Amino acid sequence: MELKDKLISSFIAFENKGTVDLDSAVHAIRTKSIQNFETEGFPSKKDEEWKYTNLKSLLRQDYSLFNKSDINVDYNTIKPYLISDIDSYNLIFIDGVFSSFLSETTHDESDICVLSAALSKPKYNILIDNYFNTVARDKNSLSALNTAFTKEGAYINIPKNTIVSKPIQILNFSTGNEKDVLLQPRNLIMVGENSHVQIIERHQNLSKNHTFTNAVTEIFVNNRAIVDYYKIQNDTDNSSLIDSTFVQQKQHSVATVNTFSFGGKLTRNNLEFQHEGEHITSNLNGVSILNKNQHVDNHTLVEHKFPNCESHELYKGIYADASTGVFNGKVIVRQAAQKTNAFQQNNNILIDDGATINAKPQLEIFADDVKCSHGCTIGQLDESALFYMQSRGIPKKEAKALLLYAFGNDVIEKIKIPQLKTMLTSLIANKLGVNLGFDL
């Protein structure tokens, strides 16, 4: 049976198994979403937005949909994937099931807990009705699929005037030791007026079988709130991720999403920013470092609908071996959005002849009093810079790594959590196969 048919036919069973009251609004949303998914199906290469990312091989696998969770995973197994030396809230999911044993949550002031609880408890009904799936809204068939099977994920509700004192780490592990696994985590994040939160999200496959993760995150950023969101994508070669993240911002808010893609077989990041007010700042940053047959596709959309807002987008890509990158950055400035500042920059380095980058910057500007710019470059390593370093006694391999690190540095230096910066620089050094002997 094809994956699509298998998913549709298992929907009723999933609903009955779940904790959701069939009379609740969520039930209606899920039913609508499975219908949307049934109509649309998985995207194919004929779809313009999926021209360079082919899901065919991914959909051919026989996935376990209702995973048996191996919740006996111990702390030492997950520790390498957590940022250590830092006090943080941790939301740990094993095969899509929340592990209270490994996590550290809170209900003091902020709610930093799990979506399943919010979906099933009446006191959360009003929030679910007002927020859940209101910005994702089945905009693509994969997020519709995620909505239909929504069961678990992070639920973060920060009340107004709250500076969350420590970062929140959301980690999704898969242990599918018997079979390939499909996971569909769903995160709902609401940040109140004047509040500030830092969130780190990571997906990690612990098994030899294939894991296909179809994740959806909705982030609501209220007036003057600040959200810093970090996505660490350094999964194994038998893992694929389709991530759809939707950010809705209100006036004077600042939202930043940083995406670091170093691993995984196929990664697709759909990232959308919606503005609901003036004086909003949206920052989108990314570094991809790929080798072997890895594929990363960054699809971003910033829609300016209100005046006096700004967006800053900076994506860097380094592609070795037969890896493939896609950058599709769309910025729309509607007629009402006068005095918009929108900047987009995408720089790529191709290290080997077999590597590919498909870059497509798209700016659609309907307002006349705006400042917008975009730039896209594709180049190779600067030979004279390599010679400079070699002439000081630094071997070619290390010199290359230093240059590549320097290339990605303007994104890395935007990281506001020092321990995260340290972790990422060591992931980069690892990826580039060098030990540089000092903390970059």
- 382 scored as a contact of another protein (CB under 8 A): yes
Q: What's the Cα-to-Cα distance from 322 to each of 265, 347, 355, 396, rounded to whole Å?
A: 12, 18, 5, 21
**Interface with another protein by CB under 8 A: which range of 64-72, 170-178, 316-324, 379-387?**
379-387
- 127 scored as a contact of another protein (CB under 8 A): no
Among residues 61, 194, 390, 419, the one that binds another protein under rule CB under 8 A: 390
The whole-angstrom separation of Cα 428 and Cα 335 is 42
Q: Which is nearer to another protein, 127 or 381 (CB)?
A: 381
The whole-angstrom separation of Cα 56 and Cα 58 is 5
- 388 scored as a contact of another protein (CB under 8 A): yes
**Interface with another protein by CB under 8 A: which range of 10-18, 47-55, 271-279, 388-396?**
388-396
Among residues 402, 415, 420, 423, the one that binds another protein under rule CB under 8 A: 402
- 376 scored as a contact of another protein (CB under 8 A): no
- Minimum Å distance from CB 381 to another protein? 12
- Minimum Å distance from CB 56 to another protein? 39
Please give the size of the binding site for another protein, defined by CB under 8 A.
Answer: 28
The residue behind tokens 């230093």 is 402
- Minimum Å distance from CB 261 to another protein? 19
CA end-to-end distance (rounded Å), the chain: 50
Q: Which is nearer to another protein, 132 or 405 (CB)?
A: 405
Query: Token pair for residue 327?
Result: 């950058």
- Minimum Å distance from CB 233 to another protein? 21
- DSSP codes, 151-199: ---EEEEEPTT-B-SS-EEEEEEE--SSSEEEE--EEEEEE-TT-EEEE
Among residues 358, 403, 414, 421, the one that binds another protein under rule CB under 8 A: 403
* Residues in Cβ contact with 199 at an 8 Å cutoff, skipping those fewer than 6 apart: 156, 167, 168, 169, 170, 189, 227, 228, 229, 230
| The one-letter amino acid at 56 | K
- 385 scored as a contact of another protein (CB under 8 A): yes
- 12 scored as a contact of another protein (CB under 8 A): no
- DSSP codes, 289-357: EE-TT-EEEEEEEEEE-STT-EEEEEEEEEE-TT-EEEEEEEEEE-TT-TT-EEEEEEEEEE-STT-EE
- 375 scored as a contact of another protein (CB under 8 A): no
Q: Which is nearer to another protein, 367 or 385 (CB)?
A: 385
The closest of 157, 230, 229 to 195, measured between CA atoms, is: 157
- 389 scored as a contact of another protein (CB under 8 A): yes
- 406 scored as a contact of another protein (CB under 8 A): yes
Strand partners, 240: 212, 266
Among residues 366, 396, 418, 433, the one that binds another protein under rule CB under 8 A: 396
Q: Which is nearer to another protein, 71 or 385 (CB)?
A: 385
Binding site for another protein (CB under 8 A): 382-385, 387-396, 398-399, 402-403, 405-406, 409-410, 412-413, 436-438, 440
